[in-house]
């Protein structure tokens, strides 16, 4: 090779390397900017509810804020978001609010009338414990896990989700319930009481058998016969139809089996998560930016709303799942995540400071069939977005 040719090849190589770095840097700067914006926006939110005793942000609909008390299944998400923001930037003001809103959730450690204890406590106290090591939080989490365990019926082998609609459902379990098992696994590790783990594993295993269809999409609600422990109904609640793939439910399943593999190293959970990921990524109705419509089978597609929360839960799960798969699959998952994060961080999804009721993200869908929180911000979209940003930043 002559000198001139060597020179051109070298320049070409340098250009290639630089282009790669620019792309990597630019995702890093997307993440940093997203965090900066989220911190400012969330401080506005934290101040807004500071003196509203026991209240939490819920959504922003028709130009109006909606809020809840700690009983709403989402009460742990705003404190959890503050924990992720504190973990990122160590801002003392954010820490003050993370503690304040976390304490507001404490009474839910006695919740025994629904399954959402895991969502409420693990996102708030769980993150608080992970980040600060605060001793007091351990008792709250353990008491919460004991409360959740009261909803386990050994005859059925699952944690019961809801107590309503008993005329139709004998023992309803929803796909979302997989998310509560992380608290049970934490309690087993902490207390060395294996019964928490047995409950979690039994729930995960029975869900694996009964909640999924042959294509690895999932039903929303499976109700079990109380005597036999066999499903007697498979239906939807928030989806388009009983046999449709409600988007957030699919993401809950993906997230659930991903962390179940992390915690147990049971290969069946890893395979399940990979199958769910495959179903979602290759779904014909998945938009190019990988922000799903509210249901993959919504009859109105493309003239219907997206669900940013389904995208943030999926992104966060895929980032973790990419740690457990081969290089080819990892690349595929991270390309999807790259698209999702860049889209969510763009003006299309990220609200301007002080707008959108002080929520970070726009365009989620809470419960379409109930005309509730449609194309609205939601605390869990913001929470899993910040979790995804945190997970991504640690891996760059």
Annotated binding site for substrate: 116, 176, 236, 248, 252
Among 58, 151, 248, 306, binds ligand GLY (CB under 6 A): 248
Residue 310 DSSP symbol = H
For residues 89 and 94, what is the distance between their CA atoms, to the nearest angstrom?
9
What residue numbers does the annotated binding site cover? 116, 176, 236, 248, 252
Pair of tokens at residue 40: 């400012």
Task: Please report how many Cα atoms fall inside a 13 Å half-sphere around the Cα of residue 136, on the Cβ side.
Answer: 5
Shortest Å distance, C-beta 369 to ligand GLY: 11
Crossing angle (nearest 10°) for helices 77-89 and 92-104: 160
Q: Which of 176, 295, 307, 358 is catalytic?
A: 176
Q: Which lies closer to ligand GLY via its Cβ, residue 176 or residue 358?
A: 176
Beta carbon nearer to ligand GLY, 113 or 134: 113
Instruction: Give CA–CA dist 125/32, Å, rounded.
Output: 25
| Closest of 292, 396, 377, 380 to residue 84, by C-alpha | 380
C-alpha angle 355-359-361 in degrees, rounded to nearest 5: 95
CB neighbour list of residue 90: distance below 8 Å, 6 or more residues apart = none
x-or-dash pattern for ligand GLY, window 52-81, by CB under 6 A? ---------------------x--------
116 is a catalytic site residue: yes
Closer residue to ligand GLY (CB): 46 or 249? 249
Instruction: Point out the residue whose Cβ comes nearest to ligand GLY.
Output: 176
Is the torsion defined by CA of 88, 93, 99, 104 positive or negative? Answer: negative
Least distance CB 124 / ligand GLY (angstroms): 16
CB of 149 to ligand GLY, least distance (A): 19
Residue 238 contacts ligand GLY per CB under 6 A = yes
Instruction: In angstroms, give the least distance from the CB of 58 to ligand GLY.
Output: 12
Q: Which of 116, 295, 358, 382 is catalytic?
A: 116
Nearer to ligand GLY, 176 or 320 (CB): 176
Determine contact, residues 40/352, Cβ cutoff 8 Å: no
Q: How far is the CB of 242 from ligand GLY (least distance, A)?
A: 17
Residue 246 DSSP code: B
What residues numbered 3-22 form the site for ligand GLY, per CB under 6 A?
none
- Shortest spacing between CB 367 and ligand GLY, in angstroms: 6
How many residues at the interface with ligand GLY, by CB under 6 A?
A: 4
Catalytic site includes residue 176? yes
Site track 99-128 with ligand GLY (rule: CB under 6 A), x = hit: ------------------------------
Give the CA angle between residues 37, 131, 340 to the nearest 5°: 40
Nearest CA to 224 among 181, 272, 162? 162
- Our CB check for ligand GLY shows the closer of 128 and 256 to be 256
Considering the complex, state which of residue 72 and residue 190 has its C-beta at the smaller distance from ligand GLY.
Answer: 72
Provide the sign of the torsion angle of the four alpha carbons 86, 91, 92, 94, taken in this order.
Answer: negative
| Distance of closest approach, residue 191 Cβ to ligand GLY, in angstroms | 26
The residue (of 99 and 248) whose beta carbon lies closer to ligand GLY is 248
Tokens matching residue 310: 């389904």
User: Which has the closest alpha carbon to 341: 321, 360, 361, 315?
Assistant: 315
3-state secondary structure of 61: strand
CA 272 vs CA 56, 161, 181, 292: distances in Å: 35, 22, 16, 20
For 286, the token pair is: 């998945």
Kindly provide the b/e burial profile for residues 72-84, where b requires at least 16 CB atoms within 10 angstroms of the residue's own CB.
bbbbbbbbbbbbb
Catalytic residue list: 116, 176
Q: Which residues bind ligand GLY (CB under 6 A)?
A: 73, 176, 238, 248
């Amino acid at each position: 090779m002559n000198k001139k040719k060597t020179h051109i090849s070298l320049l070409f190589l340098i250009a290639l390397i630089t282009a790669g770095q620019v792309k990597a840097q630019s995702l890093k700067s997307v993440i940093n900017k997203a965090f900066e914006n989220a911190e400012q926006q969330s401080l506005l939110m934290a101040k807004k509810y500071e003196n509203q005793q026991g209240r939490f942000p819920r959504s922003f609909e028709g130009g109006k804020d909606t809020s809840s008390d700690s009983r709403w299944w989402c009460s742990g998400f705003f404190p959890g978001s503050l924990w992720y923001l504190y973990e990122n930037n160590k801002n003392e003001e954010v820490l003050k609010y993370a503690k304040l809103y976390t304490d507001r959730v404490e009474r839910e450690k006695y919740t025994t009338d629904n399954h959402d204890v895991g969502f409420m406590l693990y996102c708030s106290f769980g993150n608080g414990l992970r980040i600060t090591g605060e001793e007091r939080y351990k008792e709250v989490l353990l008491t919460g896990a004991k409360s959740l365990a009261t909803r386990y019926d050994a005859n059925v082998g699952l944690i019961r989700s809801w107590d309503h609609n008993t005329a139709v459902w004998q023992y309803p379990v929803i796909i979302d319930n997989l998310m509560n098992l992380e608290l049970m696994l934490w309690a087993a590790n902490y207390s060395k009481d294996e019964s928490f783990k047995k409950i979690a594993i039994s729930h995960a295993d029975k869900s694996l058998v009964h909640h999924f269809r042959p294509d690895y999409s999932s039903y929303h609600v499976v109700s079990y016969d109380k005597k036999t422990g066999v499903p007697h109904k498979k239906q939807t609640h928030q989806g388009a139809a009983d046999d449709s793939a409600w988007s957030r439910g699919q993401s809950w399943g993906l997230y659930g089996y991903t962390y179940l593999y992390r915690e147990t190293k049971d290969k069946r959970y890893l395979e399940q998560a990979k199958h769910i990921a495959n179903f979602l990524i290759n779904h014909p109705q998945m938009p190019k930016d990988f922000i799903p419509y509210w249901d993959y089978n919504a009859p109105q597609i493309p003239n219907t709303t997206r669900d940013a929360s389904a995208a943030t839960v999926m992104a966060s799960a895929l980032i973790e799942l990419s740690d457990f798969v081969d290089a080819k699959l990892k690349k595929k998952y991270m390309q999807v995540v790259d698209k999702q994060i860049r889209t969510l961080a763009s003006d299309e999804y990220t609200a301007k400071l002080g707008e959108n009721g002080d929520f970070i993200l726009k365009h989620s869908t809470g419960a379409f069939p109930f005309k509730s929180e449609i194309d609205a911000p939601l605390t869990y979209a913001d929470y899993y977005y910040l979790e995804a940003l945190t997970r991504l930043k640690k891996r760059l």
